[in-house]
Structure 1
Amino acid sequence: MSSLVRVPLRDQIRRVLLDGLVSGRWQPGERIVERRIAAELEVSQAPVREALRELETLRLVESTPNKGARVRAFTESDLREIREVRAGLEEIAAALALPSVDPEALERHVTRLREAALNGDTAGRIEHGTAFHREIVRASGNVLLRDVWESLGVEVWTHLSMRLFDAELHEDAAAHEPIAEAFRRRDPAAGRMLRDHVLGHADPRGPDIAAG
């Protein structure tokens, strides 16, 4: 496949697998057959296996000896636990990032969130909502915190919550505005605001599942 030549092969395959999970190509409990994916992408099975291992660390697939990989049977508890861990990480990140985060970068993401909502672009809303939070996490300067946060797979879990639990993605640019403003003021309350914001979306049966 010609598209699998410009970036590391494993990353390309990982993206293909993630897209398949988000789109519903593979349902919970369904096997993802290495050999079949390798043939489809015209690659060896080794990078497919590596990509599946990465998805296993995200708790998206599970492997069984002699049976290969299956899509996990996702539960509402999975979503709640991710939100709880994420809220704690982002509160710490906010405290570390407060002196250095670029408020204008945060405000640009808020603007893009609003534009995506006006255009009916659900994927864009999830992308820019996630990017807002990633901006803060990266500005923390803590590489371990950043890596753990990235391992939560915020963007893909948001897509899955909508598809599997019929969660509605609400326009949340307005909810991000006071957080961005708090960072502009270097307000120590920004971390608490961020935590409460994430936890406000913790119940997948509630009205407001979004990319934060």
Structure 2
Amino acid sequence: MIHPPEVDPTVARNPLRGQIRRVLVDGLLSGRWKPGQRIVERRIAAELNVSQAPVREALRELEAVRLIESVPNKGARVRDFGVADMAEIYQVRAGLELVAAELALPRLGAHPEPLEREVDALREATATGDIEGQIKHSVDFHREIVQASGNEMLLHTWDSLRVEVWTALSVRWLNIELHAKATDHARITEAFRAQDPEVGRLVSEHVRNYVQAALAAREQAE
């Protein structure tokens, strides 16, 4: 009799861990947990009717992208997210997207339709005041550029930054207004269409400008 191979319990838990991570991220975005607030592992496990192991693993993943921090003898809590944290993430992202744009130029220059679709969708979301739509289409626009680079390692690294999460947190916690970026996206699309060799620099500066927008929003609030 042939016995099926044993499944590594860590691998078996991966889909569940992903679902738990989504619940935790949604809680951050909705304001259920705010900066500095504890996330009680045992309570989440009971709420979701799961063991504590996959909850612990999901929290470790969020800690790896600096959304959560572990405090000795106190467990996990939401990091006190600020402009400085955002600046570090966006500096890395700007570098990745500069390279991605340069690699993607031939492909998107010949076929800019994916970018055009996202720009149109972003404009529509802006016109209707759809914040979730603005976040989605802004992130999707940039992912189209990275994906068009044809570099899987670059795409994997970009995805690991959890750009959609950081964008949403930036909007909700730092009051960044994405509608001002719709014009930038249209300008970048036109640069690809024109096969502009400076498109990488244009994309990189656009990403870095998010930090400037956050600083401006923080100054207005103070």
TM-score (norm 2): 0.84
1:41 to 34, 37, 48: 48
The CA distance in 1 between the partners of 2:69 and 2:215, in whole Å, is 25
Query: Cα offset for 1:65?
Result: 4.3
Counterpart secondary structure, 1:206: helix
Matched residue count? 202
The DSSP-based 3-state class of the residue aligned with 1:120 is coil
Question: Which residue number in structure 2 is paired with residue 166 of structure 1?
Answer: 175
Counterpart Cα distance in 2 of 1:90 and 1:142: 12
For structure 2, the residue ranges without an aligned partner over 5 or more in a row are 1-13
Q: 1:11 maps to which residue?
A: 18
Q: How far off is 1:135 after superposition?
A: 0.7
How many Å apart are 1:180 and its aligned residue?
1.1
Letter of the structure 1 residue corresponding to residue 216 of structure 2: G
Please list every run of 5 or more consecutive structure 1 residues that lacks an aligned counterpart in the other structure: 1-6
As a proportion of its length, which structure holds more helix?
2
Match of 2:83 among 71, 76, 89: 76
In 2, the alpha carbon distance for the partners of 1:91 and 1:135 equals: 13
Q: Indicate the RMSD between aligned Cα atoms, in angstroms.
A: 1.9
Greater C-alpha radius of gyration: 2
Residue 123, structure 1, aligned to residue 132, structure 2: yes
What amino acid is aligned across from residue 206 of structure 1 in structure 2? A
Q: 1 CA distance for matches of 2:81 and 2:102?
A: 32
Q: What residue in structure 1 maps to residue 115 of structure 2? A: 106
For 1:136, the equivalent position in structure 2 comes to 145
Partner of 1:205: 215
Paired with 1:77 and 1:130, the residues of 2 have a C-alpha distance of 21
- The 8 Å contact of residues 93 and 137 in structure 1, kept in 2 or not, is answered as yes
- Cα distance in 2 for partners of 1:165, 1:176 equals 21
What is the distance in 2 between the residues matched to 1:145 and 1:76? 25
Question: Taking structure 1 as the reference length, what is the TM-score of the superposition?
Answer: 0.88
Aligned partner of 1:3 in structure 2 is none
Residues 40, 75 of structure 2: 8 Å contact kept: yes
CA contact (8 A) 1:167 1:205 kept: no
- Give the counterpart letter for 2:104 in structure 1: A
Partner of 1:4: none
State the percentage of identical aligned residues.
61
Q: Is 2:36 aligned against 1:29?
A: yes
Secondary structure of 1:62 counterpart: strand
Using the TM superposition, give the Cα deviation of residue 126 of structure 1 relative to its aligned residue in structure 2, in angstroms: 0.7
Contact 1:61 1:72 in 2 (8 A): yes
Cα drift, residue 207 of structure 1: 5.4
